[in-house]
């Protein structure tokens, strides 16, 4: 039984589910691996941190630049891991209290797109009113 045969899945979701099932078949994923994934995701510096590093290099303060970028990246990584852990815990708690949330989770992208459409329409009307004034 493939991962895709469990419930309804569109083609994109099915491809990801099958790939994950093949890659991790019979391999347990530890909490440490999940935390390491989050930390490495946060260690890629953003353009602002690269700018800070380049400025510090120009001022010949290499240690300061490296410390600032490392601190910034580590703080971002810890924030991402913390939010991820809280979201997973919250979803688990919500799932236990409300039952199966698969149907709701599948409809949330449509709700999100509807919300973005409403925001765009409101902004368009406001812009139109400003042009007419």
Using alpha carbons, select from 34, 48, 31, 29 the residue that is nearest to residue 80.
Answer: 34
CB 66 within 8 A of CB 53: yes
Region for residue 66 given its phi and psi (left: phi exceeds 0; alpha: psi -120 to 50; beta: otherwise): alpha
pLDDT at 4 (0 to 100):
44
For residue 51, what is the enclosing H or E element? Answer: helix 47-58
For the segment 80-96, the average pLDDT, to the nearest whole number, is 84
The pTM score is: 0.47
CB 111 within 8 A of CB 69: no
Stronger pLDDT, 76 or 64, i.e. the higher one: 64
For the segment 80-97, the average pLDDT, to the nearest whole number, is 84
Q: Residues 4-62: pLDDT tens digits?
A: 455 666 788 888 788 878 877 877 777 787 777 766 765 666 788 889 989 999 999 99
């Amino acid at each position: 039984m493939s991962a895709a045969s469990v419930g309804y899945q569109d083609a994109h979701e099915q491809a990801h589910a099958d790939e994950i099932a093949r890659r991790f078949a019979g391999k347990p994923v530890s909490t440490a691996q999940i935390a390491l994934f989050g930390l490495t995701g946060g260690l890629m510096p953003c353009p602002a941190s690269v700018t800070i590093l380049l400025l510090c290099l120009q001022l010949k303060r290499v240690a300061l630049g490296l410390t600032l970028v490392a601190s910034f990246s580590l703080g971002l990584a810890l924030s991402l891991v913390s939010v991820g852990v809280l979201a997973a815990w919250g979803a688990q708690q919500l799932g236990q209290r409300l039952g199966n949330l698969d149907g709701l989770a599948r409809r949330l992208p449509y709700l999100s797109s509807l919300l973005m459409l409403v925001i765009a329409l409101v902004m368009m009307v406001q812009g139109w009113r400003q042009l007419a004034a």
